[in-house]
């Protein structure tokens, strides 16, 4: 187990897919064979396509009674040996939070695709937002880490979903694809390459599935039914899964390791993309669909001679504090346009040595390039 | 870098506005172009005012939504009133004369798509494909072969033959088309 190269299930070539369809195709390519979910706008096309595709290839698709059971089924399927996923939007994500903490604590590989819409609560079901950034990281109680990707195109909905499965399997951690309505419903050219690199969880008979001497290393993950003594619990447990709910050392070691296994490996996980930053006075820090508007705005500003840079967060969690910190030393201001009330701007402030200007738009509409251009002009 | 072509379709949900965008997007993809598209979602796509948009480019597309369209294709008065104001200089507005009384003179291309659909195939539901095919014949934004392939891959069952006939009607409308 580990890395291997497989043939892409779809014939190589160019397709015209929506982002939500591309997520489903990426999941199938990564080896996903279980989907448990409850449909919700604006993510439903992923579920629809998974129902169709898993039927074709002999996977298992279950429409559950709600989101609580959806994520529970995904966790169960993962321990039964399947690569498993669900897709939802904000209201569904809120319902999943308890078991996402359980998945993190039991080190269960699973994928949660969240196609964000305008919240809070039911909000505007068909409208765009990106208000779930903090919830994805902090939504369940206790101290744990997750991984979250932020695709900006249909191509990245496909590639990113494959990557998310690989992260989940490699680090045994719930991994989020944090899309938004605009990317989910966007149709775009999708290039399918002939080969896909996939990572399959490592197994090692007899070795403890919940501990490792080196905190960077990920313990092996057995599967129920293969003959190993296996105990999976959401209470504090030792390396063999035995409950140790009164032992401070065991709890401390476990919680630290669950955080360290992601944070000490973040060089491998964190991914950013930068353009025009060499001489930038102001750099726009962006992610998700807003990055598309930002790139257009930054190019226009450059054409007019303004020294504006572009930095896109392809992964949001773990947050790229080191990179943002480096960036902040070379610019006067970091400008952060978001379809929420400043969630990433607040995070960026933790590591920035310069002023961070937050621009928030929460009206259920995308932030258009001309708006970013005008707002950046105000702070230049 | 060549400039992307931006197309906006408008009408009522049920007229095939979303399908028109999908067909054009697929056809352009077959031709190796970079394509981005979006459309109305939810109740709007099912009965109320509906729109879909396609951006076609030789190069990767930065901003994937229509800013100012080069081509507007409308099948309702409301969509015409709304969208005919936003079109680039030198752009074209194609309209189905069954539903629209135009109030401007320039750059208008009248296509009696619904009338042709009723007269030739007794099925007004394919008016969108007649209109789209007329757009393709007139502007060459994609080849007729690519559009036919998109229809083949997107339309199922008994409607396929009907839509192929509709495309042929639209393609041949080119010679008769009269610009005002």
pLDDT tops 90 at residue A372: yes
pLDDT confidence band for B49 (50 / 70 / 90): confident
Please name the residue that has the structure tokens 């994805």. A136
User: Span A148-174, mean pLDDT?
Assistant: 98
- CB nearest A296 (choices: B35, B38, B62): B62
Residue B166 in contact with residue B130, Cβ under 8 Å?
yes
- Looking at the DSSP bridge assignments, the partners of residue A4 are A198
Using a CB–CB cutoff of 8 Å, tell me whether B32 touches chain A. Answer: yes
Q: Is A358 helix (H, G, I), strand (E, B) or coil?
A: strand
User: Span A286-302, mean pLDDT?
Assistant: 98
Q: Do A187 and B62 touch (CB under 8 A)?
A: no
Q: Do B63 and A125 touch (CB under 8 A)?
A: no
- Measured in angstroms, the CA of B175 and the nearest CA of chain A are apart by 31
Please name the residue that has the structure tokens 């992260």. A167
Provide ipTM, 2 decimals: 0.93
Residues in B touching A44 (Cβ below 8 Å): none
If you count them, how many residues does chain B have?
A: 180
Q: What sign for the dihedral angle of Cα A27, A28, A32, A33?
A: positive
- CB nearest B36 (choices: A41, A188, A369): A188
User: Span B103-119, mean pLDDT?
Assistant: 90
Residue B77 in contact with residue B135, Cβ under 8 Å?
no
Q: What is the pLDDT of residue B107?
A: 87
Q: What is the pLDDT of residue B179?
A: 42
Q: Do B35 and A296 touch (CB under 8 A)?
A: no
Q: From the centroid of its chain, how far is CA A167?
A: 10
User: Span A160-180, mean pLDDT?
Assistant: 98
Residues in B touching A187 (Cβ below 8 Å): 21-22, 25, 35-38
Q: What is the pLDDT of residue B45?
A: 66
Our CA angle for A127, A153, A23, nearest 5°, is 80
CB atoms within 10 A of CB A55: 11
Mutate to test the interface with B, among A15, A40, A124, A187 (most CBs of B within 10 A): A187
Residues in A touching B65 (Cβ below 8 Å): 366
**Cα–Cα distance, A344 to A367 (Å, whole number):** 15
Using a CB–CB cutoff of 8 Å, tell me whether A337 touches chain B. Answer: no
- CB neighbours of B79 closer than 8 A, spacing ≥ 6? B10, B11, B12, B49, B51
DSSP A67-128: HHHHHHHHHHHHHTT-EEEEEE-HHHHHHHHHHHHHHHHTT--EEEEEEEEE-STT-EEEEE
- CB nearest B34 (choices: A42, A189, A293): A189
Q: Do A125 and B42 touch (CB under 8 A)?
A: yes
Pairing of strands A32-37, A83-88: parallel
Whether A2-200 shares its CATH topology with A272-379 is answered yes
Residues 142-161 of A with CB under 8 A from B: 153
Nearest CA in chain B to A41: B42
**Cα–Cα distance, A104 to A313 (Å, whole number):** 23
Domains of chain B by start residue, with CATH: 5-173 (3.40.920.10)
CB atoms within 10 A of CB A285: 29
Q: Do B29 and A299 touch (CB under 8 A)?
A: no
User: Span B150-155, mean pLDDT?
Assistant: 96
Residue extents of the structural domains in chain A: 2-200, 272-379
Burial (Cβ within 10 Å: 0-12, 13-18, ≥19) of residue B91: middle
- CB nearest A16 (choices: B29, B61, B67): B29
Q: What is the pLDDT of residue A306?
A: 98
Using a CB–CB cutoff of 8 Å, tell me whether A275 touches chain B. Answer: no
Q: Do B62 and A126 touch (CB under 8 A)?
A: no
Using a CB–CB cutoff of 8 Å, tell me whether A15 touches chain B. Answer: yes
- Looking at the DSSP bridge assignments, the partners of residue B12 are B49
**Cα–Cα distance, A208 to A231 (Å, whole number):** 11
Residues in B touching A302 (Cβ below 8 Å): none
pLDDT tops 60 at residue A330: yes
Q: What is the pLDDT of residue B174?
A: 67
- Measured in angstroms, the CA of A298 and the nearest CA of chain B are apart by 11
Q: Please write the tens of the pLDDT for every residue from A236-245.
A: 999 999 999 9
Residue A281 tokens read as 């006075």
Residues in B touching A15 (Cβ below 8 Å): 29
Residue B169 tokens read as 């009607």
**Cα–Cα distance, B114 to B130 (Å, whole number):** 8
What's chain A's average pLDDT? 97
SS (H, E, C) chain B: CCCCEEEEEEEECCCCHHHHHHHHHHHHHHCCCEEEEEECCHHHHCCCEEEEEEEEECCCCCCCCCCCCCEEEECCHHHHHHHCCCCCCCCEEEEECCCCCCCCCCCEEEECHHHHHHHHHCCHHHHHHHHHHHHHHHHCCCCHHHHHHHHHHHCCCCHHHHHHHHHHHHHHHHHHCCEC
**Cα–Cα distance, B72 to B138 (Å, whole number):** 13
Radius of gyration in angstroms for the set of CA atoms belonging to chain A, rounded to a whole number: 21
Using a CB–CB cutoff of 8 Å, tell me whether B1 touches chain A. Answer: no
- Looking at the DSSP bridge assignments, the partners of residue A336 are A358
Residue A83 in contact with residue A32, Cβ under 8 Å?
yes
- CB nearest B62 (choices: A16, A292, A366): A292
May I ask the CATH architecture of the domain A2-200?
3-Layer(aba) Sandwich (3.40)
- CB neighbours of A14 closer than 8 A, spacing ≥ 6? A189, A190, A191, A192, B29, B32
Q: From the centroid of its chain, how far is CA A140?
A: 16
Residues in A touching B36 (Cβ below 8 Å): 186-189
Q: Lowest-confidence range among A60-74, A84-98, B153-167? A: B153-167
DSSP A119-156: -STT-EEEEE--TTHHHHHHSSSSS---EEE---SHHH
Residue A204 tokens read as 């090692």
Q: Do A186 and B25 touch (CB under 8 A)?
A: no
Q: Do A295 and B25 touch (CB under 8 A)?
A: no
Please name the residue that has the structure tokens 């028109």. B20
- CB neighbours of B51 closer than 8 A, spacing ≥ 6? B8, B9, B10, B11, B17, B39, B40, B79, B83
Using a CB–CB cutoff of 8 Å, tell me whether A293 touches chain B. Answer: yes
pLDDT confidence band for B158 (50 / 70 / 90): confident
pLDDT tops 90 at residue B41: no
Residue A314 tokens read as 């392809």
Mutate to test the interface with A, among B18, B46, B60, B65 (most CBs of A within 10 A): B65
pLDDT tops 70 at residue B1: no
Inter-chain Cβ pairs, chain A and chain B, closer than 8 A: 54
Mutate to test the interface with B, among A16, A157, A180, A310 (most CBs of B within 10 A): A16
Using a CB–CB cutoff of 8 Å, tell me whether B156 touches chain A. Answer: no
pLDDT confidence band for B180 (50 / 70 / 90): very low
If you count them, how many residues does chain A have?
A: 380
Q: Do B22 and A42 touch (CB under 8 A)?
A: no
**Buried (b) or exposed (e) across A22-39, using 16+ Cβ within 10 A?**
bbbbbbbbbbbbbbbbbb
**Cα–Cα distance, B17 to A203 (Å, whole number):** 52
Q: What is the pLDDT of residue B176?
A: 55
**Cα–Cα distance, A86 to A160 (Å, whole number):** 15
Phi/psi region, residue A265 (left: phi>0; alpha: psi -120 to 50; beta: rest), is alpha
Give me the CATH topology for the region A272-379: Rossmann fold (3.40.50)
**Cα–Cα distance, A297 to A143 (Å, whole number):** 38
Residues in A touching B67 (Cβ below 8 Å): 369
């Amino acid at each position: 187990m580990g890395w291997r190269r497989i043939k892409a299930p779809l014939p190589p070539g160019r397709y015209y897919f929506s982002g939500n369809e591309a997520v489903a195709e990426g999941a199938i390519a990564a080896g996903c064979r279980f989907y448990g979910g409850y449909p919700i706008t604006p993510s439903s096309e992923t579920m629809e396509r998974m129902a169709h595709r898993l039927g074709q290839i002999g996977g298992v698709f279950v429409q559950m009674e709600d989101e609580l059971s959806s994520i529970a089924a995904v966790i169960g399927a993962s321990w039964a040996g399947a690569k498993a996923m669900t897709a939802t939007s904000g209201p569904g994500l809120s319902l999943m939070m308890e078991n996402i903490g359980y998945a993190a604590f039991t080190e269960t590989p699973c994928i949660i695709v969240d196609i964000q819409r305008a919240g809070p609560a039911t909000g505007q079901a068909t409208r765009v937002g990106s208000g779930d950034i903090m919830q994805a990281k902090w939504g369940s109680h206790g101290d744990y880490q997750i991984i979250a990707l932020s695709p900006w195109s249909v191509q990245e909905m496909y590639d990113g979903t494959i990557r998310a499965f690989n992260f989940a399997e490699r680090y045994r951690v719930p991994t989020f694809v944090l899309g938004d309505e605009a990317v989910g419903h966007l149709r775009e050219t999708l290039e399918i390459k002939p080969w896909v690199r996939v990572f399959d969880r490592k197994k090692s008979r007899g070795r403890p599935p919940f501990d490792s001497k080196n905190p960077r290393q990920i313990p092996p993950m057995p599967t129920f039914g293969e003959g190993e003594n296996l105990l999976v619990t959401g209470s504090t447990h030792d390396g063999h899964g035995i409950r140790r709910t009164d032992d401070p050392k065991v709890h401390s070691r476990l919680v630290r390791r669950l955080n360290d296994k992601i944070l000490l490996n973040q060089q491998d996980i964190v991914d950013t993309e930068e353009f025009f930053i060499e001489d930038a006075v102001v750099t726009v820090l962006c992610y998700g669909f807003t990055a598309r508007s930002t790139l257009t705005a930054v190019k226009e500003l450059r054409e007019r001679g303004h020294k504006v840079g572009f930095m896109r967060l392809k992964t949001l969690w773990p947050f790229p504090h080191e990179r943002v910190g480096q960036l902040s030393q070379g610019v006067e201001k970091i400008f952060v346009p978001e379809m929420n009330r400043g969630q990433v701007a607040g995070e960026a402030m933790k590591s920035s040595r310069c002023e961070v200007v937050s621009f928030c738009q929460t009206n259920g509409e995308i932030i258009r390039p001309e708006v970013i251009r005008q707002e950046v002009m105000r702070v230049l | 870098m060549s400039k992307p072509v931006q197309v906006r379709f408008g009408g009522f949900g049920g007229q095939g506005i979303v399908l028109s965008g999908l067909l054009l997007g697929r056809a352009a993809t077959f031709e190796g172009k970079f394509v981005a598209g979006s459309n109305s979602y939810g109740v709007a796509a099912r009965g109320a005012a509906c729109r879909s948009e396609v951006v076609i480019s030789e190069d990767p597309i930065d901003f994937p939504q229509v800013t100012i369209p080069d081509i507007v294709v409308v099948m309702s008065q409301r969509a015409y009133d709304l969208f005919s104001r936003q079109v680039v200089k030198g752009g074209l507005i194609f309209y189905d004369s069954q539903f629209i009384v135009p109030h401007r003179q320039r750059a208008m291309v009248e296509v009696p798509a619904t009338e042709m659909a009723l007269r030739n195939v007794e099925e007004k539901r394919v008016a969108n494909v007649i209109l789209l095919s007329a757009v393709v014949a007139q502007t060459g934004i994609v080849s007729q072969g690519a559009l036919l392939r998109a229809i083949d891959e997107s339309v199922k069952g008994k409607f396929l033959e009907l839509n192929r006939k509709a495309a042929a009607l639209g393609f041949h409308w080119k010679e008769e088309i009269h610009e005002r």
